[in-house]
Structure 1
Amino acid sequence: MISLSLTILPVFLLLIMGIILSRYDFPSDSFWSGVDKLVYWVLFPSLLYTKTSEVDFSHPIVGRYAIIFLSTIALIFCLCLLVNTFMRASPPTCTTIVQAGVRFNTFIALAVADKLYGDVGLLYATLGASILIPTINVLVVIYMVVKHGKKGVSLSGLIVKELFKNPLIISILLGVSVNLLGASDVIPLYAITEILSQATLPLVLLAVGASLQFKEINTAWKYIWCSTIIKMTVFPTIIILLCITFDISGVVAAVAVIFGAVPTATSGYALARQLGGNAPLMAVLISSQTAISMAMLPMVMWVAQIIFLT
């Protein structure tokens, strides 16, 4: 496990570097807000477009991969609902617990897959992200609108808005489209996004680190541990069991486990603010899960590698 931890360590060192640079306002506070926008609107979509253009969607693994991820999300969602009922949480807190449980940090997932398994791992991770990102966005938006009882809100219109204003989803749809049309090498966009994608992961990790906030962490321990257990223990366990059930092993199974072992997505905070969730709690859960994942993720991946790669 030590060698695996050392392999993943640079990913977390970049997160820590982002935290330190941001705390000292280096190079400036406005720089990090600019990086966030560059990463979200240009660099990460470029990476997703490039990789989805290369994925072989005719491979038999795609269908089983989709079943594993969609089944896991459904089970985790139901578990979060049970936890909310048991804790008698308010509607804003309920939706925040769900976000913290089902969402995953795409940036960290792809960086870890790339670091552990190279281009093959990054390709499988992109396939997983292509399945999960649209699914989770639709599920979370529907739940938040229903739970908060927002009157006069068009649910279908809001879903369309959330999907088609999300550059990650747009880039996935474009990449899949040109892939299925066999036009990946014909359209010049691929050459541009391939160059941009090479600068993505290091800058993404610095930006994620810079966005973390730990000020209110002492006020929400029961939610922190509850969401962490769901996200980083139950989530990967379900994926492992489903991979065994569907006879998936090797790198493809190990990459699937990564999505369960990484912390929740930083984008959950913006959605909590927009749709009436508990945004301060969401910020705490994002930051605490990211910190805890530095210890948890190597352990989970060590178990996954023993099961699927030995």
Structure 2
Amino acid sequence: MNEALLLLPDFLLIATGFVICRYTALNRPVWEATERLVYYLLFPVLLFNAIVRNPLQPGAMLSLVFSGMAVVGCGIVLAYALGLLRGVDRIAHASGAQTAFRFNSYIGLALAERLGGAPAVAAIALVIAFCVPLCNVAAVWPLARHGGQHFGRELMRNPLILSTVAGLAGNLIGLKFPDAVATSLHRVGTAALPLGLMAVGAGLQLGALREAPRLATAFLSIRHAVLPLVALGLVQLLGLPPVQQLVVVAFAALPTASTCYVLAARLGGHPGFVAGLVTLSTLLGMVSVPVALWSLARLQG
């Protein structure tokens, strides 16, 4: 399926960051500064701009929003439950739990456009707008607790959460910017994805996953096997329209968010372990997305 090729550029950017950091003068100090730039400016601008620019109609798509949030909620519960098992590395769990339920919204938007055009893009934008705050709150909690930080304070100053809330508020009040400002915001946000993915590669430690291989397998299994199955069941149970079914199933099978690494690095987690999870998740997404969509097609007859 051609959908898998959408993930290849992301993996190549991760590989590029790895090579540049390891084999050129642009080593770790450069990429540590890049991580801060991405986390505090570029990704927040991208999230804010994406939400403000996509009209939201929550009343008309209640079942769609519920399905997306149910998928994410299932991932959160399962990821947190792993922390209750004996012998689990607490730092690795606090850092990597987010990879089980967070998603790469940029790949999701590109995939939706190819699957269903403008209606699919509008649908997945709505799902993203409601699920990003939920994901970010759930991702910050274990890291803040592990690092001894105040959870409420971390939420209040988390740039990803703040930008999402601001974007939702701006969308609801119909906020519009002059063309020059809108273009500038778009360009700033556009830089987030390549730099974020290259920062993931720069922080990659190929041996880090060996520190907790069973935990890594569990996180990736939730992300790429369990959640797509949950989505397939939900869309059938709720009887969503065909385009919305495509969106929910594709959404559930997406690779994890590249910002997982940045968040782990900024909150004192285990960024090397998370970088490995993000890289493997990007590769697995090349399989899970086509398989999930094929399964949906079979169910639809």
Instruction: Check whether TM > 0.5.
Output: yes
> Matches of residues 1-310 of structure 1 in structure 2 within 5 Å?
1=1, 3-6=2-5, 8-25=7-24, 28-29=26-27, 36-37=35-36, 39-114=38-113, 116=115, 120-145=119-144, 148=146, 150=148, 154-162=150-158, 166=159, 168-184=160-176, 189-197=181-189, 201=193, 205-272=197-264, 277-304=269-296, 307=299
Distance 1:307 1:107 in 2: 27
Q: Which moved more, 1:285-294 or 1:37-46?
A: 37-46
Identity of aligned residues (%): 27
Distance 1:87 1:270 in 2: 28
Question: 2:155 is aligned with what amino acid?
Answer: I
Distance 1:273 1:68 in 2: 31
What TM-score, normalized by structure 2, do the two folds share? 0.77
> Displacement, 1:158?
2.9
Question: 1:160 is aligned with what amino acid?
Answer: M
Question: 1:241 is aligned with what amino acid?
Answer: G
Distance 1:203 1:275 in 2: 19
Question: 2:246 is aligned with what amino acid?
Answer: A
Q: Deviations over 1:37-85 (max 9, x none)?
A: 5544554444433332233323534432332233223322222344333
Distance 2:270 2:199 in 1: 23
Question: 2:185 is aligned with what amino acid?
Answer: T
Distance 2:191 2:265 in 1: 30
* CA-atom RMSD in angstroms: 3.7
Distance 1:200 1:13 in 2: 16
Question: 2:84 is aligned with what amino acid?
Answer: T
Distance 1:273 1:205 in 2: 14
Aligned residues: 300
Question: 1:171 is aligned with what amino acid?
Answer: S
> Displacement, 1:127?
2.6
Unaligned runs of 5+ in 2: none
Distance 2:66 2:75 in 1: 14
Question: 2:103 is aligned with what amino acid?
Answer: F
